[in-house]
C-alpha cells in the first residue's frame, strides 16, 4: 500500500499503542487520509474492526476505502429498525417497532455487496418478495463480518451494543468524528408537549385513556415555558403529573396499538408509547427534567457512563476527528480514565492539510447584550463585502437561526441560501450546482456547517468562511447542570470549558468545509472582536491574522 508521509511516520507508534490495548486519540485535518489510516492500523492489530459514526451518511467513506484497499474484507453496515423494517414509515421510532407477530420475522444469510445504501435498498426489495426481515438478517451477519459499520447508539447504548452479539475484545474500535461525543447525551433524551399529547389523544380508543391524557395536557401547562433555553424543573413535580395506575392504562393501550400496527402491516409513530417512555425515564436517577420551547425534556447531564466500557483492560480503540477535544476533556468530561495516547498529526509531522488566511473584525460582536438592528446591519455589510471579493461560494456560520433571519433581512442583492430547521443537505447541493456563487447562511452545530461537503474532484468549492459571532451554546440550566456533574468528579469548575469547547469545534468544523484536500486554500473571516485573543488564535491556528474594520 502507498502511504502518505504522515501515515508512514506515525503508523508504528499507533500500532504499538493499540497492541497494548490503549486508546489512541487521533487529530488529523480533513482530507489527510484518516479513514484509510484507521482501517490500516486497526487490521494490523486485530482481524476485525468495529467502526462507529454519527450518521448513516458517514458509512460511505469507510466503504470506499474498503472497496479500494481492503477488498478481501467482508463488511456489514448495521442500520436501525426504522430504516430496515419493511412495515415502518419514516415517522416511526425504533421503540415503536415490535417484531412479535410480524409476518417477516425470519432471516437469511447476507453478504454486503455494493454501497451500504444500495445494498439495503436491494435487501428490502428481496425481503418483501421472499418474506424475510432485512433488520434481523443484517444483525445475524454481524459476527461473520471483518468490518462492522454502526452508528453511535449501537456502541454507546448498552442494550443496543449487546444486540450485536459480539465481544469488543476481538475488535479494534474506531470512533469517527469524535468531536460529536458530547451529543451522546441526546441519545436518551425524551420529550413530551401539548402537541405530542394531542397526537396521542387521536390514537387513543379507550375513553379512560383519553380522560387521563386530557388531564395531563391541562396540568402540564403550568410547568412549561415558551423559551428555547433549558429551564430546570422539579423532577418530583413532573413525575406526579401521572399516577402509576394512570401510566399503566396508557401503557396497555400503547401495547395494543403496537400489535394493531403489526396486524395491519403499517407501523408509524406510537405517540402513546412516547408518553409512557418519557415517564418511565424519570425513574433513572441520572435523568433531569427541563422545560424548553413548551416541551418537557428529560435527559442525562453526564456523558461519563457512555465511554465507561472503553476503560476495560481488553478494549482498544481510536477516537479520531479533525477537531478533537483535549486529552483532559476526554478524561474529565467524557469519562475516559484509561491511559490514552494523543496524536496530533500536524504537531508531530508538520502541515498535512490545506491552508487558510485569517481576518479578525474588531467592530462587531454577537454578544447578547449588544445584539440589535445596528449590529445586524454591520454584519450584513461584512457579508456583502466578503461575498463580492470571494472567488467561489461563501459559508457563513451563525450562533442561531434567529441571527440568520435578522441579518439576512438586510441582504437582498445577492444569491443567498439561509438554513432553517427544515433544510436538507441535498437542497443545498442541488442549489450550488446551478449557481456560480452562493452565500450559504448556516447555523453552528447544524446540518450545513458540519455535515455538508461542497466539493468537486476532491477540492472544496467554498473559498471563504465567515464566522458571524462566537458560536457559544446557550448558558442555561442544562449547561450549568452538566458543569455541576463534571465538577463532582474533577473537583474543578468546568463551566467555561463546556461553553468554549462546542464553540471551538463549531469554528474548526466550519473552516474544514473549505479545506477538503491538501491543495485547498481559503479565507477565514472571524467576525467578532472576542476572537482577538491568544486562546482563539492558538487553537484555530490563526497566528498572524489581519485585523479589519468596516
CATH number at residue 369: 3.40.50.300
Dist CA 118 CA 413 (whole Å): 42
Neighbouring C-beta atoms of residue 79, cutoff 10 Å: 21
Count the helices and strands in the chain (H runs, E runs).
22, 20
Q: Please say which residue of 315, 349, 383 terminates a domain.
A: 349
232 in the same domain as 372: no
Strand locations in 372-431, DSSP E? Answer: 393-398, 416-418
132 in the same domain as 263: no
Q: How far is CA 532 from the centre of its chain?
A: 29
pLDDT at residue 2 in the model: 85
SS3 of 270, please? coil
The DSSP secondary structure of 251-294, one letter per residue, reads HHHHHHHHHHHHHHT-B---HHHHHHHHHHHTTSTTEEEEEETT
202 in the same domain as 123: no
Dist CA 403 CA 385 (whole Å): 18
134 in the same domain as 230: no
Sheet strands side by side (includes 231-232): 190-193, 295-300, 287-292, 231-232
Residue 376 grid cell: 445586524
Residue 71 grid cell: 477488498
Neighbouring C-beta atoms of residue 292, cutoff 10 Å: 22
pLDDT at residue 283 in the model: 96
pLDDT at residue 453 in the model: 77
Which residue bears the cell 476532491? 458
Dist CA 257 CA 350 (whole Å): 60
Is the distance from CB of 424 to CB of 354 less than 8 angstroms? Answer: no
Dist CA 543 CA 429 (whole Å): 33
Among residues 422, 426, 490, the alpha carbon closest in space to that of 453 is found at 426
SS3 of 197, please? helix
Is the distance from CB of 193 to CB of 294 less than 8 angstroms? Answer: yes
Considering just the CA atoms, what is the radius of gyration of the chain in Å? 25
CATH number for the domain harbouring residue 217: 1.10.275.30
pLDDT at residue 150 in the model: 97
CA distances (Å), origin 454, targets 60, 427, 460: 16, 12, 6
Q: Please say which residue of 349, 368, 384 terminates a domain.
A: 349
518 in the same domain as 406: yes
Secondary structure letter of residue 457 according to DSSP: T
Is the distance from CB of 473 to CB of 503 less than 8 angstroms? Answer: yes
Which residue bears the cell 469547547? 501
pLDDT at residue 542 in the model: 92
330 in the same domain as 363: no
171 in the same domain as 194: no
Count of structural domains within the chain: 3
203 in the same domain as 122: no
Residue-number span of the structural domain to which 400 is assigned: 355-548
Neighbouring C-beta atoms of residue 523, cutoff 10 Å: 19
Is the distance from CB of 53 to CB of 176 less than 8 angstroms? Answer: yes
Dist CA 306 CA 311 (whole Å): 11
Dist CA 474 CA 403 (whole Å): 14
Mean pLDDT by 10 residues, the chain (550 residues): 91 96 93 93 97 90 94 95 93 92 92 90 95 96 96 96 96 96 94 97 96 96 94 97 97 96 94 98 96 97 94 96 93 92 94 91 92 94 97 95 94 90 81 88 85 79 95 94 90 87 93 87 97 94 93
Dist CA 480 CA 536 (whole Å): 23
111 in the same domain as 224: no
pLDDT at residue 500 in the model: 93
**Per-residue burial over 24-62, b = 16 or more CB atoms within 10 Å of its CB, e = otherwise:** bbbbbbbbbbbbbbbbbbbbebbebbbbbbbebebbeeb
CA distances (Å), origin 456, targets 433, 436, 452: 10, 13, 13
First to last CA, the chain: 52
Alpha-helix residue ranges (DSSP H) falling in 265-372: 271-281, 327-332, 345-349
117 in the same domain as 12: yes
Angle between helices 244-264 and 207-220 (to 10 degrees): 120
| Strand partners of residue 466 | 396, 525
Strand pairing class (147-151; 48-53): parallel
Among residues 496, 491, 500, the alpha carbon closest in space to that of 536 is found at 500
427 in the same domain as 536: yes
Strand pairing class (416-418; 190-193): unpaired
Residue 383 grid cell: 457579508
483 in the same domain as 371: yes
Among residues 5, 59, 60, the alpha carbon closest in space to that of 37 is found at 5
Residue 107 grid cell: 432471516
Amino acid at each position: 500500500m502507498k502511504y502518505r508521509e504522515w501515515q508512514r511516520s506515525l503508523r508504528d507508534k499507533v500500532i504499538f499503542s493499540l497492541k497494548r490495548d490503549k486508546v489512541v486519540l487521533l487529530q488529523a485535518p480533513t482530507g489527510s487520509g484518516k479513514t484509510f489510516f484507521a482501517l490500516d492500523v486497526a487490521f494490523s492489530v486485530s482481524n476485525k474492526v468495529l467502526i462507529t459514526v454519527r450518521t448513516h451518511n458517514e458509512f460511505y467513506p469507510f466503504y470506499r476505502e474498503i472497496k479500494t484497499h481492503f477488498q478481501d474484507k467482508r463488511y456489514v453496515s448495521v442500520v436501525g429498525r426504522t430504516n430496515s423494517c419493511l412495515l415502518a414509515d419514516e415517522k416511526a421510532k425504533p421503540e415503536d417497532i415490535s417484531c412479535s407477530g410480524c409476518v417477516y420475522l425470519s432471516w437469511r444469510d447476507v453478504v454486503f455487496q455494493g454501497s451500504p445504501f444500495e445494498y439495503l435498498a436491494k435487501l428490502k426489495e428481496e425481503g418483501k418478495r421472499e418474506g424475510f426481515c432485512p433488520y434481523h438478517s443484517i444483525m445475524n451477519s454481524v459476527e461473520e463480518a471483518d468490518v462492522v459499520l454502526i452508528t453511535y447508539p449501537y456502541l454507546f447504548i448498552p442494550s443496543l451494543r449487546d444486540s450485536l452479539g459480539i465481544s469488543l475484545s476481538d475488535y479494534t474500535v474506531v470512533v469517527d468524528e469524535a468531536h460529536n461525543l458530547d451529543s451522546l447525551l441526546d441519545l436518551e433524551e425524551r420529550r413530551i408537549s401539548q402537541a405530542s399529547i394531542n397526537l396521542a389523544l387521536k390514537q387513543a380508543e379507550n375513553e379512560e385513556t383519553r380522560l387521563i391524557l386530557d388531564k395531563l395536557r391541562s396540568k402540564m401547562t403550568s410547568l412549561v415555558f415558551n423559551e428555547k433555553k433549558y429551564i430546570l424543573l422539579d423532577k418530583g413535580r413532573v413525575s406526579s403529573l401521572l399516577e402509576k395506575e394512570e401510566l399503566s392504562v396508557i401503557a396497555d393501550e400503547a401495547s395494543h396499538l403496537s400489535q394493531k400496527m403489526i396486524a395491519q402491516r403499517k407501523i408509524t409513530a406510537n405517540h402513546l408509547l412516547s408518553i409512557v417512555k418519557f415517564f418511565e425515564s424519570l425513574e433513572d436517577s441520572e435523568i433531569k427534567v427541563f422545560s424548553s420551547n413548551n416541551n418537557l425534556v428529560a435527559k442525562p447531564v453526564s456523558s461519563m457512563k457512555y465511554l465507561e466500557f472503553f476503560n476495560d483492560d481488553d478494549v482498544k480503540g481510536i477516537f479520531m476527528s479533525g477537531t478533537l477535544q483535549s486529552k483532559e476533556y476526554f478524561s474529565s468530561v467524557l469519562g475516559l480514565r484509561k491511559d490514552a495516547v494523543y496524536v496530533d498529526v500536524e504537531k508531530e509531522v508538520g502541515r498535512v492539510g490545506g491552508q487558510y488566511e485569517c481576518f479578525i473584525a474588531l467592530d462587531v460582536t454577537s454578544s447578547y447584550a449588544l445584539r440589535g438592528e445596528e449590529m445586524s446591519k454591520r454584519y450584513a455589510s461584512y457579508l456583502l463585502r466578503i461575498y463580492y471579493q470571494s472567488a467561489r461560494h461563501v459559508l457563513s456560520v451563525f450562533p442561531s437561526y434567529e441571527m440568520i433571519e435578522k441579518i439576512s433581512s438586510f441582504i437582498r442583492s445577492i444569491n443567498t441560501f439561509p438554513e432553517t430547521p427544515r433544510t436538507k443537505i441535498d437542497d443545498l447541493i442541488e442549489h450550488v450546482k446551478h449557481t456560480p456563487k452562493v452565500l450559504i447562511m448556516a447555523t453552528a452545530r447544524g446540518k450545513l456547517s458540519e455535515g455538508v461537503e461542497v466539493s468537486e474532484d476532491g477540492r472544496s468549492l467554498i473559498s471563504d468562511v465567515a464566522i458571524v459571532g462566537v458560536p457559544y451554546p446557550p448558558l442555561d440550566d442544562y449547561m450549568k447542570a452538566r458543569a455541576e456533574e463534571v465538577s463532582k468528579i474533577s473537583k474543578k469548575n468546568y463551566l467555561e470549558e463546556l461553553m468554549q469547547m462546542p464553540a471551538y469545534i463549531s469554528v474548526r468544523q466550519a473552516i474544514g468545509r473549505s479545506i477538503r484536500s491538501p491543495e485547498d486554500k481559503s479565507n477565514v473571516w472571524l467576525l467578532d472582536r472576542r476572537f482577538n485573543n491568544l486562546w482563539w488564535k492558538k487553537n484555530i491556528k490563526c497566528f498572524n491574522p489581519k485585523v479589519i474594520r468596516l
